[in-house]
Amino acid sequence: MKPSIGRIVHYTLSEQDAEAINKRRSDFHKYLKSEGYGDIGYIAHYGNEARAGDVYPAMIVRVWDDDMVNLSVQLDGTDTYWATSRREGEGLHNHWVWPPRV
């Protein structure tokens, strides 16, 4: 199949992806506890810990070629992750695949 904008795929997190997601969530918790925090419209980065190898649904937001795309990854929490220039690849971290038919 050929990727196109708006299609849903499965994305597997790499170690670097998981570290970046968990850092944003940790930073949010630190800021939340600070005296300067107020209800000012921040998007909370809050959710279950992300780990390398975790698979999440992702929407294709830009197509570069037949197997390289940018993705908006729906995480297990209140936030998303922008995965840029990712290639299709079965069984690999940092890659996306078409979801299986069930």
Domain range for 59? 8-36+44-97
Q: Does 91 reside within a domain?
A: yes
pLDDT digits (tens, 9 = 90+) for 10-64: 999 999 999 999 988 777 666 555 566 555 656 666 678 999 999 999 999 999 9
Q: Would the pTM of this model clear 0.95, i.e. be above it? A: no
Q: Does 1 reside within a domain?
A: no
**Nearest C-alpha neighbor of 99 from the set 34, 11, 23:** 11
Q: Does 17 reside within a domain?
A: yes
User: What is residue 26's three-state secondary structure?
Assistant: helix
Q: Does 102 reside within a domain?
A: no
pLDDT digits (tens, 9 = 90+) for 50-91: 999 999 999 999 999 988 999 999 999 888 999 999 999 987
Domains: count for the chain: 1
Q: Does 48 reside within a domain?
A: yes
Q: Does 12 reside within a domain?
A: yes
